Every structure is written in structure tokens, then in C-alpha cells.
Structure 1
Amino acid sequence: MEKNKLVELTNEELQIEKKKLKKRKFLKALLIGILVGVLFMLGSAIVHYESPFGTIPIFLLLFIIFKIAKSPDKDKTLEETLKERNIN
């Protein structure tokens, strides 16, 4: 959310946004964990079968993982607004 929109929200609405933030962080971590597990399984299959074309899916998975991990966090502005208003 934009900083201007967050300033206009009431404390109750900010707490609702905070709950959504927790869910997003959890789902993001879960998705990254699942993809890392798939990455290790794929890596072990490539090593076992000595497939020369197996590196392509590994690079695709790494790209997806890094895109998810480094996605532009609009949550930082929400966290800053929560700290400004002392909402825990």
C-alpha cells in the first residue's frame, strides 16, 4: 500500500492489515521452503541420472525463488506506519 493510504487508515484497519501481513509472510516462507525442497529433489535426480538438460529447471527454480524472496515489499511501509502509531 502507499504511504498516503496507510496514514488515512484507522488503528483497527491497520491491525487488520497487520494480520494480512503475517499471512503473506507465512505463505511466502512456505512457498520458498517448498520450492527449495523441490530444488534439492531435482538436483539429486539430476546427479543420479546424469542428465545434461537437468540444469535448466534448476536455474528456473532458482530464478523463481529469488524473485519471490526479493519481491518488492510494500509491507515495509505498513511496518513503519505500525511503529509510528505504536501498534503491536
Structure 2
Amino acid sequence: MKLEGLSELSDTALAEKMKKIKSNKVIDAALVGFTLGIVVYSAVKNGFTFFTFFPLLLTVAILRNSKNNKMLEMEIEKEMKSRKSQDML
């Protein structure tokens, strides 16, 4: 989602996006753990081959996605805080 579109969303839509991002954090962490487990198992079972390190490429992609989600989460929090401060005035 583009950051400019956040100001057009309602409060409930922003809260829903935050919930989705938080659940994605858990899923990302589980996937990273799973892929690292595959790497360790493959290294112990078969030694170090190309297919041992292939899951690490997936881990890098997951980490990049989580970094983008972190930036989006910070922007949503900033937008929600600015709305609360405007409501108080």
C-alpha cells in the first residue's frame, strides 16, 4: 500500500491494517524459523550443497518483506497518533 493512501483510510481500516501487520509478523517469524530449521537439517543430513543454502534465499525475501511491513506499521502509527491529536484539539 502506498503511504499517501493512509490518510484516506478510516480509523477502523487503519486498525484492521495494524492487526494484519501484527499477524504477519508472527507468520514471518515462523517461516524464518522453519527455513533455518531446514538449512540445519539439510546440512546435518546431506552436508553443505546448493540445496542447503537455497532456503536462505527465501529467508532473505521474508526479511525484506518484514522490513517493508515495519515501515508501513510506523507510518500507520504516525497517522493514528496525528488523528488522535487532532481530535483532542
Q: Place the TM-score, normalised by the shorter chain, in its bin.
A: 0.7 to 0.9
| 1:20-47 C-alpha deviation (Å, 9 max, x unpaired) | 0011111111111111111111111124
How many residues matched? 81
What residue is the counterpart of 1:38 in the other structure?
38
What residue is the counterpart of 1:57 in the other structure?
51
| 1:35-61 C-alpha deviation (Å, 9 max, x unpaired) | 1111111111124xxxxxx51111211
Structure ranking higher on relative contact order (CA contacts 8 Å, 6+ apart): 1
Alpha-carbon separation, structure 1, partners of 2:60 and 2:27: 15
**Where do 4+ consecutive residues of structure 1 move more than 6 Å?**
none
Give the conservation status (yes or no) of the 8 Å contact 1:6–1:78.
no
TM-score by length of 2: 0.76
1:62 alignment partner AA = L
Give how far 1:74 is off: 4.6
Q: Which has the higher helix share?
A: 2
Structure 2 gaps, min length 5: 84-89
Structure 1 gaps, min length 5: 48-53
TM-score by length of 1: 0.77
Aligned residue among 66, 70, 85 for 2:64: 70
What residue is the counterpart of 1:82 in the other structure?
77
Alpha-carbon separation, structure 2, partners of 1:7 and 1:74: 17
